[in-house]
Amino acid sequence: MNNSVIVQGVSKQYGSKKQPVVALSDISLDIATGELFGLIGPDGAGKTSLFRILTTLLLADKGSATVAGYDVVKEYKAVRKIVGYMPGKFSLYQDLTVEENLHFFATIFHASVADNYHLIKDIYEQIAPFKDRRAGKLSGGMKQKLALCCALIHEPKVLFLDEPTTGVDAVSRNEFWDMLQLLKKKGITIIVSTPYMDEASRCDRVALIQNGRILQVNTPEAIISGFTQPLYAVKAPGMLSLLKQLHNTPGVLAAYPFGEYHHAVMQPGVSLPFLGKDAEVKAVTPNIEDCFIQLMQHHA
Amino acid sequence: MKQFLSFVKKEFLHILRDKRTLFILLGMPIVQIIIFGFALTNEVKNEGIAVLDLAKDQSSGELIRQMDASRYFELRAYLQNEQQIEKTFLKGQIKLAVVIPPGFDHQLRHTNKAQLQLIADASDPNLANTMVNYAGSIVQQFQSTIFPQQQAAYQIQTELRMLYNPQLKGAYNFVPGVMAMVLLLVCTMMTAITIVKEKESGTMEIMLVSPLVPFSITLAKAVPYLLLSIVNIISILLLSVYVLDVPIRGSVLLLIGMSILFTMVSLSLGLLISARSSSQQTAMFISLVGMFLPTVMFSGFMFPIENMPKPLQVISNIVPAKWYYIIVKSVMIKGVGFNAIWKEALILAGMCTFFLAMAIRNFKIRLA
Amino acid sequence: MPKEKAITAEMLTKRFGDFIAVNAISFEVDKGEIFGFLGANGAGKTTAMRMFCGLSLPSSGKATVAGLDIYKDNEAIKQRIGYMSQKFSLYEDLTVKENIRFYGGIYGKSDTYIKKETEILLHQLELEAQANTLVGALPLGWKQKLAFSVAIFHQPDIVFLDEPTGGVDPVTRREFWNMIYEAAAKGITVFVTTHYLDEAEYCDRVSIMVDGVIAALDTPAALKKQYHASGMDEVFQQLARGAKRQDN
């Protein structure tokens, strides 16, 4: 079994027939065993719907999907035995202690904490000093770690993490991704969704998703090298007027604020004209966010 | 099985950690029994009476003594003439006046047809009615003491419930009603809420993605409440017997067994409600409006079903509490055995099966 | 008097029992400034923001918002500020127009004002066709832009934005910041928290809270220079990595 997750032509709509809300339209994906795969897109892109279909919580309107070889509809019971799932909302029992939560989740998956402790050791050690504390009284970062332990304790083959880093500060986000790298080494296929574009670089491959459609699937490096137009970072006093100036400059395909600079995408072969003596201009390599913006505009 | 037990254990932890709810669940039956048993009862106790004894003979003296001795009445005034009757009423000292005509003893012993006038303050018609009944039964008792072997000629019209409840005690009616209400509240509402709570908090999502069979999730949820209900049943019965003096005439085991049957009906109703609702408010609302009100209205303990219009009588048949109420009254107060209540028990068992089947059918193995 | 101050804080402190959520912070925000209020989870951002919005009284210290004392005038402050958070913004079961009407109404704006401004607002947001659509049916990005417009509908002196762009796509995020610039250009002071550190670059000045104190406060350029960092992300990582506490 080389592919851990296979999605073929999955579509999903919500709402009434008159006013359907398209959550997913014709999604196809192959995720290899042992891969750390990122599903990157804003809220409402369809990430959670796709996760729920893959974790057998939701039925697709069209298309099919398998997880570790099991069909998510016909063999949903088998799928439920081998996946670990961490929903977007903190979903542990707030009135149970850290330890009680962990043991409870182990038991319902017919597993024992002792048998699989090696999987969670690195993470659990950080929250072990608080093992008698109720989960509801934990800090945000610790809740997240406990939730990850609970999703891992039955040694799942495939781990689904739905927006584990949303609303988490940059430092904690970094730590979380470090933990995922360690888990990947243990051979678990990990599928993570996130709205933070900068996290793409931490994944083996990513799917950029927007309005229920996949814009692109590839390694972060390949996505970036697919951005062929020249890109410049521009800075000058009076950033707002600079942006207007860029929008009116011939040859500029797109211009948008990017941190302390503006990014200007140029038509290939056209160079950026002189923008004033105070302007700082430099050619830059695009990052995933540039690619996402460009892909969004292509699909609009 | 280990899975199931660990789920049950978790449910117990939830209940034990939420001290306030636990306190309410265990304290509620006690408070209700006390409120219904004492405060709300239309029982008569030491009501003031006045006597106008125009006979002043042996029998009249004995009757007055017996009335005064009863726990229902207290002799407040010994009147001299008829004019005083109304005056005493107006002073608010008495609720009932007894007028004994001249020659009472003679008439009683020789013609068997003595007359007696009871004048009641009917501003509270229920109270008046009850007092007249009490007084009537005292007179009857009095007759049987003087003529033990003779058939009493003095006939007193009594209500049907007097038949098994000669002292007309309110608690006799309330105890079975409170049992039905408490069990329904604890089982139906709490079970419904606790399952929906998991849907709201998102933990149901993880439960569904686990190998747990949905049915065992719901069943595990019901177990703690079943046990809690048994505690409640026992505390209600103990209170009834030792505080309210309501005896258990029939088999205690039968009574508890039937209560467990009703508990299971309530639990399956709770499961059904939880399967259909997505928020705690909805679950609570359905439990209260859909279950609690019909129970109060149609079980027969607040309003007699026989007095209702025909369509409402038909509706009352689908209210489980009605059948349970009949069973409890029969076993506890009439003291009958299973052969007298098997029909009601069968109806409850049928309802339980039906609701449970519906609950399982409606349980979603996926998110909507 | 030099620049007018929108917010001043002097040794502002909030204790919860033994826990000092906000520990004697002092700073000033100029009128019309876009002020980024950053910090790790649990650093005390939300607590500090609640004090400025008049939702919670400080344990000690002084502070003014729009020139008003936060102890004495906390009700008057509420008239002068706007507030928008990612979690609660608009009523999903009311239409776009009804939401605007409602918020205009609670700030006591006249019917003619509401009517006139609603049209301008709908035009700016290009939402004219959706005026009678339920807010719940709008895409997230539009909702957030509408929520911001509603938060400044009553022309407050200061608008507090609590993670306004969480989960919003990169294009809409930039459109959102455009609206912030425009508001600031009209003289509205913007006080904003965010987890997107590239957005910190869009602010005039940035403060970074760590463990209840302000660990750094300056323009993004000066901070990057001071910490020898190429981006605000690095500045933040350096400062917040030393944090002892984590909370929500």
Q: Chains near C, with 3+ CB pairs < 8 A? A: A
Whether B166 shows a pLDDT value over 50: the answer reads no
Please list, in sequence order, all residues whose beta carbon lies within 8 angstroms of the beta carbon of residue A10, skipping any fewer than 6 positions away: A24, A26, A27, A28, A50, A53, A60, A62, A63, A64, A65
For residue A91, the distance in angstroms to the closest alpha carbon of chain B comes to: 5
Q: What is the pLDDT of residue A59?
A: 94
Which CATH number covers residue B52? 3.40.1710.10
CA distances from A28 to A158, A219, B153 (A): 18, 16, 96
Mean pLDDT check: name the lowest of A39-43, A113-117, A170-174, A264-268: A170-174
Q: Give which of B85, B19, B24 is closest to B52, Cα–Cα.
A: B85
CB within 8 Å: A93 and B10: yes
Whether B150 shows a pLDDT value over 80: the answer reads no
Question: Hey, what are A154's tokens?
Answer: 């039955």
In chain A, count H helices and then E strands.
9, 14
Cα angle value C42/C47/C50 (rounded, 5°): 145
Contacts of A105 in chain B (CB under 8 A): 206, 210
C positions 171-210 inside 8 Å of A (CB): 171-172, 174, 177, 181, 185, 195-198, 201-202
Q: What is the pLDDT of residue B165?
A: 40
CB within 8 Å: A108 and B211: yes
Quick one: B184 and B325 in the same domain? Answer: yes
For an interface test with B, the pick among A94, A108, A150 (most B C-beta atoms closer than 10 Å) comes out as: A108
Quick one: B178 and B127 in the same domain? Answer: no
In this predicted model, what pLDDT tens digit does every residue of B60-93 receive, in sequence order?
888 888 888 888 888 888 888 888 888 887 777 7
Secondary structure of residue C162 in the 3-state scheme: strand
pLDDT in tens, chain C (248 residues): 456 899 999 999 999 988 999 999 999 999 999 999 998 888 889 899 989 988 889 999 999 999 999 998 888 898 899 999 876 678 888 899 999 998 888 888 899 999 999 999 999 999 999 999 988 888 888 888 999 999 999 999 999 999 898 888 899 999 999 899 899 989 999 999 988 888 999 999 999 999 999 999 999 999 999 999 988 989 998 998 877 665 44
Quick one: B146 and B195 in the same domain? Answer: no
Quick one: B202 and B333 in the same domain? Answer: yes
Are A154 and A109 spatial neighbours (Cβ–Cβ below 8 Å)? Answer: yes
| Strands of chain A, DSSP E | 3-14, 21-32, 36-40, 62-67, 70-71, 83-86, 158-162, 189-194, 205-210, 213-218, 231-235, 252-258, 261-266, 280-283
Which of B3, B17, B366 lies at the smallest CB-CB distance from A56? B366
- Name the domain boundary from B163, B198, B232: B163
d(CA B52, CA B78): 6
Residue B368 lies in a domain: no
Quick one: A128 and A169 in the same domain? Answer: yes
Q: What is the pLDDT of residue A248?
A: 92
Per the structure, how many domains does chain A have? 2
Residue B132 lies in a domain: yes
Rounded to an integer, the average pLDDT of A127-134 is: 93
Does C199 or B174 have the greater pLDDT score?
C199
Quick one: B87 and B54 in the same domain? Answer: yes
CB within 8 Å: A195 and C243: no
CB within 8 Å: B208 and A59: no
Q: What is the pLDDT of residue A120?
A: 93
Residue B133 lies in a domain: yes
Are C122 and C131 spatial neighbours (Cβ–Cβ below 8 Å)? Answer: yes
Whether A293 shows a pLDDT value over 50: the answer reads yes
Cβ-based neighbour number of residue A273 at 10 Å: 11
Residue count (chain A)? 300
Residue with tokens 């009601």, as numbered in its chain: B344
CB within 8 Å: B202 and A59: no
Quick one: A250 and A108 in the same domain? Answer: no
For residue A209, the distance in angstroms to the closest alpha carbon of chain B comes to: 22
CB within 8 Å: A41 and C169: yes
For residue C73, the distance in angstroms to the closest alpha carbon of chain A comes to: 32
Quick one: B101 and B136 in the same domain? Answer: yes
Which of C141, C195, C201 lies at the smallest CB-CB distance from A260? C201
d(CA A290, CA A265): 9
Whether A213 shows a pLDDT value over 60: the answer reads yes
Quick one: A143 and A194 in the same domain? Answer: yes
A209: nearest CA partner in chain C: C169
Q: What is the pLDDT of residue B164?
A: 34
Q: Which domain holds residue A210?
A: 3-224
Are C161 and C192 spatial neighbours (Cβ–Cβ below 8 Å)? Answer: yes
| β-sheet with A213-218: strand ranges across | A83-86, A158-162, A189-194, A36-40, A205-210, A213-218
Whether B277 shows a pLDDT value over 90: the answer reads no
d(CA A126, CA A129): 7
Quick one: A49 and A197 in the same domain? Answer: yes
Q: What is the pLDDT of residue B42?
A: 56
Mean pLDDT of chain B: 81
Q: What are the structural domain ranges in chain C?
A: 5-239
In this predicted model, what pLDDT tens digit does every residue of B217-245 receive, in sequence order?
878 888 899 998 999 989 988 988 888 77
Q: What is the pLDDT of residue B123?
A: 66
In the DSSP assignment, the letter for residue C86 is: S
Quick one: B190 and B77 in the same domain? Answer: no
Are B226 and B261 spatial neighbours (Cβ–Cβ below 8 Å)? Answer: no
Which of B7, B14, B203 lies at the smallest CB-CB distance from A92? B203
CB within 8 Å: C170 and A296: yes
Mean pLDDT of chain A: 91
Quick one: A110 and A170 in the same domain? Answer: yes
Quick one: A252 and A185 in the same domain? Answer: no
How far from each other are the two terminal CA atoms of chain C, in whole angstroms? Answer: 39
Q: What is the pLDDT of residue C88?
A: 61
Rounded to an integer, the average pLDDT of A156-168 is: 92
In the structure, do chain B and chain C come into contact, i.e. share 3 or more CB pairs under 8 Å?
A: no
Q: What is the pLDDT of residue B179?
A: 81
Q: Which amino acid appears at position B355 of this protein?
A: F
Q: Give which of B356, B352, B328 is closest to B341, Cα–Cα.
A: B328
Quick one: A248 and A184 in the same domain? Answer: no
- Name the domain boundary from B106, B134, B163: B163
Residue B204 lies in a domain: yes
Quick one: A18 and A49 in the same domain? Answer: yes
Quick one: A197 and A56 in the same domain? Answer: yes
Residue count (chain C)? 248
CB within 8 Å: A57 and B205: yes
CB within 8 Å: B207 and A108: yes
Quick one: B191 and B334 in the same domain? Answer: yes
Mean pLDDT check: name the lowest of A9-18, A151-160, B36-45, B297-306: B36-45
Pairing verdict, β B73-78 and B47-53: parallel
For residue B313, the distance in angstroms to the closest alpha carbon of chain A comes to: 41
- Name the domain boundary from A224, A243, A267: A224
- Name the domain boundary from B163, B188, B209: B163
Q: What is the pLDDT of residue B168?
A: 44
Which of A42, A296, A297 lies at the smallest CB-CB distance from C168? A42
Residue with tokens 């040694």, as numbered in its chain: A155
In this predicted model, what pLDDT tens digit does every residue of A55-99 receive, in sequence order?
999 999 999 999 999 999 999 999 999 999 999 888 899 999 999
Residue B367 lies in a domain: no
Q: What is the pLDDT of residue B38?
A: 67
Are A29 and A193 spatial neighbours (Cβ–Cβ below 8 Å)? Answer: no
Residue B185 lies in a domain: yes
- Name the domain boundary from A178, A206, A224: A224
Per the structure, how many domains does chain B have? 2
Which of A142, A256, A297 lies at the smallest CB-CB distance from C174? A256
In this predicted model, what pLDDT tens digit does every residue of B5-25 receive, in sequence order?
888 999 998 998 888 888 888
Side-chain half-sphere exposure of C53, counting CA atoms within 13 A: 18
Quick one: B358 and B276 in the same domain? Answer: yes
Asked whether this complex has an ipTM greater than 0.85, the answer is no
Rounded to an integer, the average pLDDT of A279-298 is: 92
Residue B192 lies in a domain: yes
Q: Which domain holds residue B283?
A: 2-40+169-362
Quick one: B81 and B227 in the same domain? Answer: no
Whether B304 shows a pLDDT value over 50: the answer reads yes
Does B107 or B353 have the greater pLDDT score?
B353
Q: In this complex, is the C-beta atom of A90 within 8 Å of any C-beta atom belonging to chain C?
A: no
Mention the CATH class of domain C5-239.
alpha beta
For an interface test with A, the pick among B7, B206, B208, B217 (most A C-beta atoms closer than 10 Å) comes out as: B206
- Name the domain boundary from A189, A224, A259: A224
Are B166 and B160 spatial neighbours (Cβ–Cβ below 8 Å)? Answer: no
d(CA A287, CA A223): 9
Which CATH number covers residue A143? 3.40.50.300
Q: What is the pLDDT of residue B147?
A: 67
CB within 8 Å: A85 and B207: no
